[in-house]
Amino acid sequence: MAYEIYKTHDVNVSSRGVSANGECLMFGSSGFTTAPYGEYWKFMKKLLATKLLRPQAIEQSGGVRAEELERFYFNIHDKAMKKESFEMVKEAMKFTNNMICRMSMGRSCSEENGEAERVRELFTKSVALTTKILVAYMFRKPLEKLGISLFKKEIMGVSDRFDELLERILVEHEEKLEEHQDRDMMDLLLEAYRDEKAEYKITRNQIKSFFVDILIAGTDTSAQTTQWTMAEIINNPNILERLREEIDLVVGKTRLIQETDLPNLPYLQAVVKEGLRLHPSGPLLFRTFQESCEIKEYYIPEKTTLFVNVYAVMRDPNSWEDPDEFKPERFLACSKSEREDEISERALKYLPFGGGRRGCPGSDLGYIFLGTAIGMMVQCFDWRIKGEKVNLEETFEGVSLTMAHPLQKRKGSQVDFHLPPSPPSLPIIGHLHLLLSVLAHKAFQKISTKYGPLLHLRIFSFPIVLVSSASMAYEIYKTHDINVSTRGVSANGESLVLGFSGFSTAPYGDYWKFMKKLVVTKLLGPQAIERSGGIRAEELERFYFTILDKAATKESVEIGKEVMKLTNNMICRMSIGRSCSEENGEAERVMELIIKSLALVKKIFLADIFHKPLEKLGISLFNKEIMGVSRGFDELLERILVEHEEKLENHQDRDMMDLLLEAYRDEKAEYKITRKQIKSLFVEVFLGGTDTTAQAIEWTMAEIVNNPNILERLREEIDSIVGKTRLIQEMDLPNLPFLQAVMKEGLRLHPPIPLVVRTFAESCEINKFYISEKTKLVVNVYAVMRDPDSWEDPDKFKPERFLASSRSKREDEMREKALRYLPFGGGRRGCAGTNLGYIFIGTTIGTMVQCFDWGVKGEKVNMEEAISGMGMAMAHPLECIPVVRMDPSIINLH
């Protein structure tokens, strides 16, 4: 009977009829699947066949689907490693939704961008509303006479939110239409929308409705079918075994199944078809007879609603042998006329994607989704369930046939992406003892030397990947930079000290990207650095006079302490317009809070590591201490902010706070920053620019003092370029290659932050090793820059290694930095103040070498490291007695 209707009356039943909510984006008259049969529907059908879902378009988007299949695999693998149960339909829905979102509008619903996640939320609500929409449609006529519109408020509420969301995405695509190289469906529809010569002028509302149709039709139905088919496979071990043998024979065990494998896997195709036959995702199809007609001598009046029970059609005992049994072999052709038979069979009795001209245009894509997803799960995992059989009881939700008891299983991995090697660990705590060791970077370096440059560690049950070689660090930052561009969940996200509102610790997203752009173009751009040069010159002179006074009284100078004052004064004046040497209380308070924060750095790191296990016990490690310092910064910076706001119009020499307040007040800014984010940025500037720079200068001066030949060569270069009648200036630095080499060598041997910590946002593969999502990444910068495979005599202070021997200096330097030189971190999350750091270090060391001789107790400076936070401090602070070598009376000052 279904064949008779679709063969003889196809055009007559090619309309759905009048919707109860025609203006709704969900199942309204503007949607492609629900539109009346007419000019709009014919135009969209042609557009789908020739552009959106043509074979070439499907082939072009294959990379997207392959990436999402890998993500689906790693997601299951994560659960297998943790021995967690797996709810099939929920995870399959994420997989199909991600693929459809990326193919249609260029974003995955796993991205942390708000909008993509919003698509998934609205899709879920829409699926839950489908039954109500169907009921509203069936009862629209009698209720219309009573002035009642069933469920309208609820349906239109979701529709309006879809409209707002899709309008924003449309506008974003319109703005970037010219730049798009890999065009998605939305780009193609916008071309049709703008085409004045198009056969039909589509509207924005029709574009939005089309995307709602795709999301609902492509996501829920594919996920439900995947679940039903996997349930049947698990209930039939002989079918599972035969299917796995076919996949292993054709695909093998060293790679995942690919779309190109599907034509060579006839039994997998048969399994997919049999699953669709027994469990069609849309068991009931309804249309409307546009005109009166006669079927089998029966009269059918116009406007009659047609229901096709697809479920019954595909279990019709007159068409199917053993119709209720799962027998994939029924779809295996036994002759060369397979293709012809299949087409004939589909037309007659096989309707999983509907029938006639209103059949699903995405059926080919549906077979690809199902084939690769089911193929991968059979290929890569064994599946265990509670009890002997999966319960195949049905429930009816919306217009889909779903399982009353969702399929939940535990997995054992079949294709094994090995974890990186792991050194021996202690019971329960794992490798925690290494992290708590007095010098963690050295402890990590020692085990890496023995076990390898890429190691898998664990703290209790939480995984860490340790990277300790230049080649491995390069691989991470080159291939997985975005994936490791987030710090991860903070134990004290609300804190101004290393919390989520900070720039350096913020998750990778819109706020971080906006701040990166602001820092690079305004706060620390070349022009901004040049404008603030006078401030740094004044502070350098003040530093010079401080040492000069000590020399006159023959007092020793504690280098680290004095340099800390210098860098802090420079940072404070550049950022908030006041020096920490001023006697105004507030500036001195900044210094006090910085010292307290530095003492907390390791505690904050440990709080992050133990965040998850302690959270379950209601314990927040060091929270009182951390938040106490945070509140101190908050009160202080709020007062300074208010002061700057009151004087904003009068400021001629604008500091960083003035520039940030301008961005804060800018209504047209790409991102609306908050006062808290401004305060957090300044906390980071104080911490990142003060202590680390001071330590780098102290270590480098210690190396210079311990190597008189280097001191002499450096001094000769400075005297030759700068002379003895003025202090070194920033403009001199490009002409002092040996000074630059000394700086770099000091930073190589003594990086300010020896361990860089990030988080893998997604599962991935590195050097054939499997890394699960949320794994902490620890790059041992100290070990990377002492890697004997990359550096000759890695533990020796040899500045000449940074001197170029040819004109390709610039090229070599860039290559070297990318491969093995990471004093300021690597990738897009590397320190944004690198150039300023080199200026601070170069002018300070240059001044001390140019103007003074340095005497120390004993023959050599003690280079032992202190147990101090997460940085590298000297166990015995560098104390020297300065001796004047340039006559102060003839020096021309700034």
Tens of pLDDT, residues 66-112: 989 998 998 888 888 877 877 888 888 888 888 888 888 776 655 44
> Measured between alpha carbons, how far is 650 from 51 in angstroms, rounded to an integer?
59
* Contacts of 617 by beta carbon, 8 Å cutoff, 6+ apart: none
What band does 372 get if pLDDT is binned at 50, 70 and 90? very high
Is residue 342 a contact partner of residue 367, using CB atoms and an 8 Å limit?
A: no
Annotated binding site for heme: 360
**Token duo for residue 561:** 């302490």
pLDDT greater at residue 195 or residue 701: 701
> Measured between alpha carbons, how far is 695 from 655 in angstroms, rounded to an integer?
25
Identify the helix (H) or strand (E) that includes residue 86.
strand 85-87
Is residue 604 a contact partner of residue 626, using CB atoms and an 8 Å limit?
A: yes
Identify residue 739 by its one-letter amino acid code: L
pLDDT greater at residue 25 or residue 54: 54
Nearest of 120, 108, 827, 839 to residue 512 by alpha carbon? 827
How confident is the model at residue 872, as a pLDDT?
83
Query: Residue 650 half-sphere exposure, CB side, CA atoms within 13 Å?
Result: 5
What band does 146 get if pLDDT is binned at 50, 70 and 90? very low
Superfamily of domain 2-413 in CATH is Cytochrome P450 (1.10.630.10)
What band does 415 get if pLDDT is binned at 50, 70 and 90? very low
pLDDT greater at residue 612 or residue 285: 285
pLDDT greater at residue 149 or residue 385: 385
**Token duo for residue 188:** 């193609």
Query: Residue 336 half-sphere exposure, CB side, CA atoms within 13 Å?
Result: 0
Intervals of CATH 1.10.630.10 along the chain: 2-413, 433-890
pLDDT greater at residue 684 or residue 243: 243
> Measured between alpha carbons, how far is 845 from 538 in angstroms, rounded to an integer?
16
pLDDT greater at residue 46 or residue 25: 46
The long-range contacts involving 49-57, CB below 8 angstroms and separated by at least 24 positions, are: 49/361, 51/188, 52/185, 52/188, 52/189, 53/361, 53/362, 53/364, 53/365, 55/364
Maximum mean pLDDT: which of 144-148, 170-174, 226-230: 226-230
Average predicted confidence (pLDDT) for the chain? 83
Annotated binding site: 360
The long-range contacts involving 98-101, CB below 8 angstroms and separated by at least 24 positions, are: 98/68, 98/71, 99/64, 99/65, 99/68, 99/369, 100/214, 100/215, 100/218, 100/219, 101/215
pLDDT greater at residue 544 or residue 416: 544
Q: Would the pLDDT of 129 be above 70? A: no
End-to-end CA, the chain: 98
Q: Would the pLDDT of 362 be above 90? A: no
How would you class 554 by CB atoms within 10 Å of its CB: exposed for 0-12, middle for 13-18, buried for 19 or more? exposed
What band does 620 get if pLDDT is binned at 50, 70 and 90? low
Per-residue burial over 301-338, b = 16 or more CB atoms within 10 Å of its CB, e = otherwise:
eeeeebebebbebbeeeeebeebeebbbebbeeeeeee
**Token duo for residue 563:** 């340099």
**In the chain, what percentage of residues exceed pLDDT 90?**
35
Superfamily of domain 433-890 in CATH is Cytochrome P450 (1.10.630.10)
Sign of CA dihedral 754, 760, 761, 765: positive
Q: Would the pLDDT of 395 be above 60? A: no
Is residue 385 a contact partner of residue 206, using CB atoms and an 8 Å limit?
A: no
